[in-house]
Structure formats: structure tokens, C-alpha cells
Amino acid sequence: MAESVTGTSGTTGTAASAATGGGAGTTSSVTAVATGASTSARVLHQPVTSGAAISPRTWADVAEAGKRADVPAGLWMRCESCTAMLYRKNVEQNLHVCPECSHHYRIGADERVAQLCDPGSFEPMWQNITPKDPLKFEDVKSYKQRLADTQKKTGHADAVVCGKGFVKGRGVALACMNFHFLGGSMGSVVGEKITRTIEMATQSDLPLVIASCSGGARMHESTLSLMQMSKTSAALARHDQAGGLFISVLTDPTTGGVTASFAMLGDVILAEPNALIGFAGPRVIANTVRQKLPDGFQRSEHVMGKGFVDRIVHRKNLRSEISRVIDFAGK
């Protein structure tokens, strides 16, 4: 069909078949065929004054037909885990968890904050700290440009949202990482904001909750991003010495420099079901050790079996679990 549309033949016959095919049998395309005489005269011919020249149908015309179809995009979705067809609104109302198979979808920092905190209780902090590009890093496009594009797309300055709020009436210092912002990678700003959140928790004697969701250190910032591992870990050591409580929540995925620093330093480490938790990814490890990895390798359940996670908690129970741990620790 592609040939007949883009080819030079451009007869009315191929145009009509393309319209019914491309328009997926919608009312509008049927109408277009029914009123073929007048429509094709308008669409397929150059202005009458130019004589007999016929312009072939283009993809732009086909796209126009698609637009008229009037079916809202993305109303339904197919679960990437169990392949069930799901009404998108139902999934959203179910905290972005598949109602059929309990697959936990990745969510952004704003959704995470909204899910964890009591409504309207969260106060974001340090929103004006923005990343710089001291190394003038450039790959396919410059880091500076990449940051600008991502900031525009996500509406956030960097990959973490920090502040304080209430979880079931218990005050907490909270940091939620945003995977939609450059893979939730930890650069200087993420490290700084998390460190400030930890220090705020220490000074105000608040329980600290960090929901990790990250691909690791941000390579665009090289050593500066790696330094954030020790910076956050040192702040956590001071928080611990002051008797503070840190609940680390691991979500899909928690990997790289984030796993290798603060995410694994929780007094209590909770994880969402089936979240990827590890340092290097499974593909890298499989290529290195040249062995078949066990089923469920680096998933929450497997990692808990090895003693790195204390409890796996369904998203709908996270709030109660966090408040229970806070009460248990007497905070």
C-alpha cells in the first residue's frame, strides 16, 4: 500500500483505497469516499487555473483523515506484564498498578509524593537549584541542551523532588526521585538536594523517607556525580549518629550509584514488588560471568532472599507500612 500512495501513479483508485485503509474504516473516511466526486476534485487537483496537473496524495492527507477519526488517544492500554487490555483510568485510580496482575508501573516524582503524603501536606523545598554543565559535556547533543529539553518536558529542574510532608499524620522529610528526568540519574543537584533533605531531617528530628528510582550516577557530570555518593552517605552517617530514622523505599529501577550509596543505607529498606534492584544491570553481569542468570535475578523478591531488603510492600500499603515503621521506631 505504501507504494501505491507514495508512487507516481496517484490515481483516484489508489487514493480511495488508501483512504479506507488508512482511515481504519471510520465514519469520516466513509463520508470522504461517498462524496468522492467533489472531495477528490478539491483535494487531488491543483487550482483549476493551472490546467490538468494532478498532485499525488501525500501522507499529510492521510494524517488529516486520522485526525478526524475523533477517538481519544490512549484511552486503553495493554499491560506490559500480563498483556491484558486495561482502561487507562482504572490503572491510574489503582495507583498505576495493573488490576489484573499487580504489575507496578513506574511513576514520576509528583505522583509518588501525592501517593505517599496526606493530601495537600507536602511542602517542596529547594526547587530553584538547577544543574550546571562545568564539563561542557557533549554526546549526541550537548548536556546543556539535553537538560533544557528535559526540564521543559517534565517541568522539573532536576531528577528529585524534596521537602517535608505528612504520612498518615506523621511528619517526614521526603525525597522522591523522578525516573522521567534523565533516568532519575544522580548529578550534583540530586546529591545536593538529597543531602539537604537528610540534614533537614537530622536538625528537625524528622523521620527521613527516600523513594529511589534511578539508573545511577549521571555520567554527564562524571566525577562530580560520583562525589554525590560519598556526600549523601556521610550525611546519612551523621543522621544515624544523631539517632535519626531513615526508611529507604526502593522502586523499579534502583541501580548504579544510587544503590551503591544512600538507597542501601536505610535503617529499614522497603521495596515495591518485582522492582529491579542492583548495581550493574543483568545484561552486563550475564556478559561478564558468561552464565545464565537465575529467574528473577535482581528483582525485589530475589534481593530480599539475599538479605538486602527487609520487606516487599504493595504500593497501596506503602503509606501504612511507613507510618507503622515510624511508630515502631518511636519517632
**Which residue, 14 or 102, is less far from Zn ion as judged by CB?**
102
Contact segment (CB under 5 A) with Zn ion among 12-20, 29-37, 97-105, 250-258 equals 97-105
Identified binder of Zn ion from the candidate list 5, 18, 97, 98, rule CB under 5 A: 98
Single residue of 41, 101, 135, 284 touching Zn ion by CB under 5 A: 101
Counting residues that bind Zn ion (by CB under 5 A) gives 7
Sequential DSSP letters for 34-78: HTHHHHHHHHHB--GGG-S-BPPP-HHHHHHHHHTT---TTSEEE
Which residue of 22, 23, 32, 103 would you call a contact of Zn ion, by CB under 5 A? 103
100 touches Zn ion by CB under 5 A: yes
Q: How many CB atoms lie within 10 A of CB 52?
A: 6
| Of 228 and 274, CB closest to Zn ion | 274
Contacts by 100-104, CB closer than 8 A, 24 or more apart: 102/273, 102/314, 103/79, 103/274, 104/251, 104/252, 104/272, 104/273, 104/274, 104/275, 104/315
Give the C-alpha separation, 197 to 123, whole Å.
12
Site string for Zn ion, 56-95 (x = CB under 5 A): -----------------------x-xx-------------
- The percent of the chain in helix, strand and coil, each rounded to the nearest 5, is 45, 20, 35
Provide the 3-class DSSP secondary structure of residue 142.
Answer: strand
Half-sphere exposure of 169 (CA within 13 A, CB side): 2
Rounded CA separation 258/226 (Å): 10
Pick the closer one to Zn ion by CB: 81 or 154.
81
Residue 276 beta carbon to Zn ion: minimum distance, rounded to whole angstroms: 17
In whole angstroms, the minimum distance from the beta carbon of 101 to Zn ion comes to 3
Give least dist CB 91 to Zn ion, A: 9
Cα atoms in the Cβ-side hemisphere of radius 13 Å centred on 34: 7
Q: Which stretch binds Zn ion (CB under 5 A): 9-17, 23-31, 33-41, 96-104?
A: 96-104
Minimum CB distance to Zn ion smaller for 103 or for 315: 103
For Zn ion, the closer CB: 174 or 276 = 276
Q: Which of residues 185-204 bind Zn ion (CB under 5 A)?
A: none
Joined grid coordinates for residue 314: 504493595
Q: How far apart are CA 42 and CA 35, in angstroms?
A: 11
Q: Which is nearer to Zn ion, 98 or 174 (CB)?
A: 98
Q: Which is closer to Zn ion, CB of 103 or CB of 302?
A: 103
Largest Cα separation within the chain, whole Å, is 87
234 contributes a contact to Zn ion by CB under 5 A: no
CB 94 to Zn ion: min, Å = 11
Residue 253's H or E segment, with its range, is strand 246-254
Q: Considering the complex, what minimum distance in angstroms separates the CB of residue 97 from Zn ion?
A: 9
Can you give the binding site for Zn ion, defined by CB under 5 A? 79, 81-82, 98, 100-101, 103
